[in-house]
Chains A and B, each alone.
Chain A
Amino acid sequence: MSTPIHLSRLTGWGRTAGSGAHLVPVSAANVAEAVLAAPERGALVRGLGRSYGDAAQNGGGVVLRLAGSADDAVLNEADHEVTVGGGVSIDALLRLLVPRGFFVPVTPGTRFVTIGGAIASDIHGKNHHLEGSFGNHVRQMTLLLADGSTVVLSPTQRPELFWATIGGMGLTGIVLSATIHVLQIETSRCIVDTTRAHDLDHVLTLMEEGDHRYRYAVAWIDLMAKGRHLGRSVLSRGEHATLEQLPEADRVSARRYEANVLASVPPIVPISAINRLSTKAFNEMWFRKAPQYRTGELQSIPQYFHPLDMIGAWNQAYGPRGFVQYQVLVPFGEEDALRNVVERLASSGAASFVTVLKRFGAANPAPLSFPAPGWTLTLDIPVGTRGLASMLHELDIVVLDAGGRHYMAKDSHTTPLAIKRGYPRLAEWQAVRNEIDPDGVWQSDLGRRLELIG
């Protein structure tokens, strides 16, 4: 094999706790060969490195970069399905789909994730309360196994392995391609309603009462607000705009899709630009600029779904030490625990720029899928924040005692025990994995750290 091998230090999007691995670019044609040549520390495929912690790292082992092009994707317009390579990004896929009147069934807050990564993390988006996570929309996939063979999986063909791969953090094999159900849309615009909520109870009530009327719903919380403003939020809910909802002049270009990166954060930011002061100012501005109540605002897809993607490498604004993203689930009925978590985070003064609250709908059958009926809270905090590590360990206990869990694609701090408690079906997943990969070829830093793999 003439593939070049480099020893590279890889980190997740949070730029913390990196490790050195042999980074090997591969294509669908030679990926099996590379897997068979994996050393004792095993192999893992890495997508676009958007998981925050160590999910796409494999210290001392091989990390494969699977090439993929949306040019090879096959769109079946009649059945609303697209078959696409595992290494293709949602960004590339949207450029293909939107002009043809289709949209991905689920998109996270960034379009820079691969299809393989979307499956491995079973990503969710603003529509989870109605339409579930990415795995719910996978019709079929081709998985490369540790022995170099491939297998076709679907909810009816080898369903155990299918669901173990969804949310399986890349530890069952490599998704070579997948057939995804896509959503038909009339335009590339979204129609958005915005409401301000004056405190946490208010936003929870608004979401409980009204989310079901919108395909997409998410709240942004000002975690810097305390006291009677605790949990004040901007609730943003929307739907794909229909042709009729566009102004006459825009209808000729109804499906035009442009998604650009406007500016990038330079690679060297000596200290974190995200601190208490800048965050407080930003949050105040964000809350004030949001209308008390506004309906029917037209936004583009990047504006509505991927606002942070307009700033390239925004993770570098956190400086060389990086940041952690804390995303947990708190089941419905445990709102006191949620309130407790929000309160403690707010009173700690930790500078969280982007704090998001979302209601999840039903879970899917995948044993390691994160979403389940409940609230999910997501925040970004600079890793150098004093006392942060011990506070998060304490919050973990609050969350787990409430029957909640951590999102592994975001995790970079918690313990194997926390995962065991949060994912009661872990052993079931491990049994499937051990059968399909008895020699433990698929390895990752996250898998070792959280003892997913034995």
Chain B
Amino acid sequence: MQNSFGEPQSILLLGGTSDIGLAIVRRLASPTLRNVVLGCRDPAAAEATVRELSTPGVAVTAMEFDANRPQTHLGFVDRVVAEVGDLDVVVMAFGVLGEQSTYDLDPVAAATAVSINYTGSVSAGLAVAAQLRSQGHGWLVVLSSVAGERVRKANFVYGSSKAGQDAFAQGLGDSLEGTGAKVLIVRPGFVHSAMTEGMKAAPFATTPGKVADVTADGLRRGKRIVWAPGILRIVFSLLRHVPGPIFRRLPLG
């Protein structure tokens, strides 16, 4: 159960090696924190992170979670709950970016990426929501992206998957109204992280730490959507209305 300040006692990170996800976990750590579960495809690969996050009062475990295997998601949430009890904050941070030029030539790779980013979010999101609803409290934090806000030709496969995920998360949040459970959608812009390593930074680029700050603030204030950085909300409310012929000519990478 979170306290008055929104400080959680348990955190589940889906995408347990995500830079942004881990930054959020670190940012939410307080004296009330008791349990952290890192859900990742290869728990062995998270060993160093488990050691780093563990403190005398905080038990950290890595458990196998594969976003691309929806049939395992309900069982996964059950196992986590059996381990740590109520889930106070669940951070959905898994996802793949990939290169649009690769996807152009490899439709199967594109479909796989979409299935991780979107389909995986749908099944994991519903599995988590069922638990939050039954416990009557808890937050699902969905790491969306501005890429889904107005999809650009430079990364439209990724962008379309995030658009779907974002729309799903909005609907899920609305469906949980009144149950005590809530959804926070985080829409970061370009984030310097392992996922974007070697890529040219977009304007208003930010860092995992700053996304974590925005997320923690959104949780404390009980927000539904936050942008990182905040200015992107204004930028994208303008971009959304730019006519197609002009939008296509914009140098947006």
Residues of A within 8 A of B (CB): 7-9, 14, 16-21, 41, 53-54, 58-61, 320-322, 324, 383-384, 388-390, 393, 396, 412-417, 445, 448-449
List the one stretch of B72-80, B90-98, B99-107, B130-138 in contact with chain A.
B130-138
Contact of B1 with A59 in the complex, beta carbons under 8 Å: yes
Q: Which of B4, B133, B136 has the most CB of A within 10 A?
A: B4
Minimum C-beta distance from A22 to chain B (A): 9
In the assembled complex, 18 residue pairs joining A and B whose CB atoms fall closer than 8 Å, in A order, are A9-B178, A17-B2, A18-B180, A19-B136, A20-B137, A20-B181, A21-B180, A59-B86, A59-B180, A60-B134, A61-B136, A321-B221, A321-B222, A322-B4, A324-B5, A383-B4, A413-B5, A414-B32
Contact of A17 with B4 in the complex, beta carbons under 8 Å: yes
Contact of A389 with B137 in the complex, beta carbons under 8 Å: no
Contact of A417 with B57 in the complex, beta carbons under 8 Å: yes
9 closest A-B pairs by CB: A59-B136, A20-B180, A60-B136, A16-B4, A389-B5, A449-B1, A412-B4, A19-B137, A20-B136
Contact of A41 with B134 in the complex, beta carbons under 8 Å: yes
Partner of B136, one of A21, A324, A383: A21
B245 within 8 A of A: no
Contact of A449 with B9 in the complex, beta carbons under 8 Å: yes
Q: Which of B1, B57, B222 has the most CB of A within 10 A?
A: B1
Q: A18-B137, A393-B31 are in contact. Are A413 and B1 (CB under 8 A)?
A: no
**Smallest CB gap from A12: residue in B:** B4
B85 within 8 A of A: yes
With a cutoff of 8 Å between Cβ atoms, the chain A residues found around residue B55 in the complex are none
Q: A60-B136, A445-B137 are in contact. Are A20 and B178 (CB under 8 A)?
A: yes
B179 within 8 A of A: yes
Minimum C-beta distance from A320 to chain B (A): 8
Contact of B136 with A41 in the complex, beta carbons under 8 Å: yes
Minimum C-beta distance from A255 to chain B (A): 41
With a cutoff of 8 Å between Cβ atoms, the chain B residues found around residue A321 in the complex are 221-222
Q: A415-B32, A417-B57 are in contact. Are A448 and B86 (CB under 8 A)?
A: yes
Interface of B is mostly: loop
With a cutoff of 8 Å between Cβ atoms, the chain B residues found around residue A53 in the complex are 3-4
**Smallest CB gap from B5: residue in A:** A389
**Smallest CB gap from B177: residue in A:** A9
With a cutoff of 8 Å between Cβ atoms, the chain B residues found around residue A54 in the complex are 1
With a cutoff of 8 Å between Cβ atoms, the chain A residues found around residue B4 in the complex are 14, 16-17, 53, 322, 324, 383, 412-413
With a cutoff of 8 Å between Cβ atoms, the chain B residues found around residue A322 in the complex are 4
Q: A19-B136, A449-B1 are in contact. Are A413 and B179 (CB under 8 A)?
A: no
**Smallest CB gap from A324: residue in B:** B4
B6 within 8 A of A: yes
Cα separation A370 to B229 with both chains bound (whole Å): 46
Cα separation A320 to B222 with both chains bound (whole Å): 10
Minimum C-beta distance from B171 to chain A (A): 18
Partner of B135, one of A14, A60, A324: A60
Contact of B1 with A448 in the complex, beta carbons under 8 Å: yes
**Smallest CB gap from A14: residue in B:** B4
Q: A448-B86, A449-B3, A449-B9 are in contact. Are A415 and B221 (CB under 8 A)?
A: no
Cα separation A42 to B52 with both chains bound (whole Å): 37
Minimum C-beta distance from B55 to chain A (A): 13
Q: A59-B136, A417-B57, A448-B86 are in contact. Are A389 and B7 (CB under 8 A)?
A: yes
With a cutoff of 8 Å between Cβ atoms, the chain A residues found around residue B237 in the complex are none
Minimum C-beta distance from B206 to chain A (A): 22
**Smallest CB gap from A394: residue in B:** B31
With a cutoff of 8 Å between Cβ atoms, the chain A residues found around residue B2 in the complex are 17
Cα separation A59 to B6 with both chains bound (whole Å): 15
Cα separation A263 to B135 with both chains bound (whole Å): 37
Minimum C-beta distance from B26 to chain A (A): 15
Minimum C-beta distance from A316 to chain B (A): 16
Cα separation A417 to B58 with both chains bound (whole Å): 12
With a cutoff of 8 Å between Cβ atoms, the chain B residues found around residue A413 in the complex are 3-5, 7, 32
